[in-house]
Amino acid sequence: MAGAPMVRIFAVFGLGYFLSYSFRSIGPLIAPDLASELDLNARELGLLASVYFLAFFAAQPGIGIAMDRFGPARVNAALIAVAAVGAAIFATAHSLTGLAIGRGLIGLGIAGALVTAFKATVIWYPPRYREALAGALMAIGGLASMATATPAEWLMRAVGWRGVFWTLDALAVIVCALLMLAVPRHQAEAAPASAGGFGTIFRSRIFLSYLPTAFFGSGGFSAIQSLWAGPWLVEVAGLTRAATAQVLLVYGFSLFVGYLLIALFGARMQAIPRGPQRWYIASLALAYAALGLIVSNALPNSPWPWFAYGVTLGAGMLAYPLMTRAFPTAIAGRVVTAYNTVMFAGGFVIQAGLGIIIQHLVDGGTARPVAYQVAFGILLAAQVASLIWFVLVSRQGRAPA
C-alpha cells in the first residue's frame, strides 16, 4: 500500500491521537474551575484525575489482545465511542462522583488511541520509518497540547469548561466515524506459539530495562501534564490563569518541537550504532535536569524551564519503536500495551500520590508552595533513579538500539 491510502490512514489515527491528547491535556486548565465550582481540595483533584489513568491502565491488556486479533481501526472506533459517552457525562456532572464516572469512561475510551496508531504503523509502513512515524504521531500530541492551552482558555471564556467538553464530545463522534469508514480492513496475523504473550514480554530483560522509566518517567510526565502543571503554576509560581495558559502553550509547543525532531531525524538515527537508545538516555537526562530547575522555582515567571522540559522529554516515546523491534510483529499490540500498562499505572499512582503528599503536608502546616516542591522533588528523585536503572540494565542485556 502506498500513496494516498497511507496518508489517509496516518491522518485518521493522528486525529484520534489528537483527541486523546486533548482530553489528557485539558486537565491543568480546567482544574482551578473544577476546584472552585465543586469545592475540591488537592487530594480530591488528584484522585479525580487519577481515575482517568486507572481506566487507561485496566484497559491496556484487553486492547493489546483485541487489536492483534481484530485490527487497530475497529478497536479504536469502539473505544472512542465510549469516550464520547464519557465526555457527555463529564459535561453534565454536578458532583465529584459524576465527574469521576465521566473521567473514567473518557480514560477507557481513549486508552487505545496511541497504541492502535503504533500498531497501524507496524502493519502498513516499512520498519525503517517507525521512529519517524512515532515522532510524527507524538508531534500531533504536541499540537493538541498547544490547542488545550491558550486556544482552549479562549474557548472556556466563551462557553465554560462544560462547553469545552461538549466540543471534545463532537470531535470524538467524528473520529469514530472516520475510523470505521476511511481505514481499510486488516486481516489480523495469527501470533505463532513461539511469540509468547504478556508473560513473555514482562519477563524479558529488554522490557524490564524500560519498566522503571515507563512507571516513573512516562507516568510522572503524564501526571504532571494532565493535572499538576496547572496547579503548580498557580500555587507555586503565582501566575494567573491567563499567564498559566500561556506557559502551557509554550510547554505544548516544546513537546511539538521535540517530537518533530524525532520525526525528522528518526530514520537517520538507525545509521548510528545504538543511536535511538543514546538519544533516549541523553534527552531524558536533560529533561530531568529541566524538571529540577522547575522544582527549585528559581525562575517562577519564565516559560523556558518548561520549554526545555518538554522538548527533551519527548524522547521517552522512543521506547515504543525500540521495543517493537525486539518482538514478533504479530504481538506488537501486546508489546505497546504492556508498556502502556506500566506507564498508566505510574500515572495513576503518581497523580493521586502527588495530591495526597501535597494535602498531607499542607494539613500539617507546610506552606503550599513548599508542599508542591517536596512532592515534585520526590518524583524527580525516582525518575533519576529509573534512568540509572535503564542505563545499567540495558548495558548488561543489550537492550535494542
pLDDT band, very low/low/confident/very high, at 400 (cuts 50, 70, 90) = very low
- Phi, psi dihedrals of residue 117, rounded to the nearest 5°: -65, -40
CA 131 to chain CA centroid, nearest Å:
17
Residue 4: per-residue pLDDT: 57
CA distance 50 to 172: 21
If 0-12 CB within 10 Å is exposed, 13-18 middle and 19+ buried, where does residue 48 land? buried
Residue 95: per-residue pLDDT: 85
Maximal C-alpha separation, the chain:
63
Please report, for residues 220, 312, 378, 400, the alpha-carbon distance to residue 291 in angstroms, rounded to integers and kept in the order given.
11, 11, 12, 27
Average pLDDT, the chain: 85
The residue among 284, 310, 302 whose CA lies nearest residue 25 is 310
- Tell me the residue length of the chain: 401
Are 32 and 147 in contact, with CB atoms under 8 Å apart?
no
Q: Which range among 70-74, 101-105, 160-164 has the greatest average pLDDT?
A: 101-105
Are 220 and 382 in contact, with CB atoms under 8 Å apart?
yes
Residue 66: per-residue pLDDT: 86
- Summarised one tens digit per residue, pLDDT across range 273-327 is 777 888 899 999 999 999 999 999 999 889 999 999 999 988 888 888 888 777 8
- Summarised one tens digit per residue, pLDDT across range 186-199 is 655 555 545 567 88
The 3-state secondary structure of 300-344 reads: CCCCHHHHHHHHHHHHHHHHHHHHHCCCCHHHHHHHHHHHHHHHH
Lowest mean pLDDT among 104-113, 148-157, 291-300: 148-157
The residue among 151, 171, 172, 153 whose CA lies nearest residue 161 is 153
Residue 18: per-residue pLDDT: 92
Higher pLDDT, 58 or 268: 58
Q: Which range among 111-115, 293-297, 299-303, 392-396 has the greatest average pLDDT?
A: 293-297
CA distance 123 to 141: 21
What angle do the packed helices 72-92 and 4-25 form, to 10 degrees?
Answer: 30
- Summarised one tens digit per residue, pLDDT across range 5-34 is 778 888 899 999 999 988 887 877 788 788
Residue 390: per-residue pLDDT: 94
* Domain range summary for the chain, segments of one domain joined by +: 4-183+196-397
CA distance 128 to 134: 11
Are 36 and 93 in contact, with CB atoms under 8 Å apart?
no
- DSSP-derived secondary structure letter, 274: T
Q: Which are the contacts of 140, defined by CB distance < 8 A and separation ≥ 6? A: 14, 17, 18, 21
- The CATH architecture one would assign to domain 4-183+196-397 is Up-down Bundle (1.20)
Are 150 and 245 in contact, with CB atoms under 8 Å apart?
yes
CA atoms 160, 164, 166, 167: torsion sign = positive
Give the count of beta carbons closer than 10 Å to the beta carbon of residue 89. Answer: 19
pLDDT of 401 higher than 50: no
Please report, for residues 274, 277, 284, 289, 325, the alpha-carbon distance to residue 394 in angstroms, rounded to integers and kept in the order given.
11, 9, 15, 22, 15
Lowest mean pLDDT among 84-93, 96-105, 153-162: 153-162
The residue among 218, 245, 214, 242 whose CA lies nearest residue 229 is 245
CA distance 400 to 325: 8
Q: Which amino acid is at 381?
A: A
Does residue 144 sit in helix, strand or coil? helix
Residue 139: per-residue pLDDT: 83
DSSP string, 347-388: HHHHHHHHHHHHHHHHHTT--HHHHHHHHHHHHHHHHHHHHH
Are 43 and 351 in contact, with CB atoms under 8 Å apart?
no
Does residue 173 sit in helix, strand or coil? helix
Mean pLDDT of the region 251-279? 80
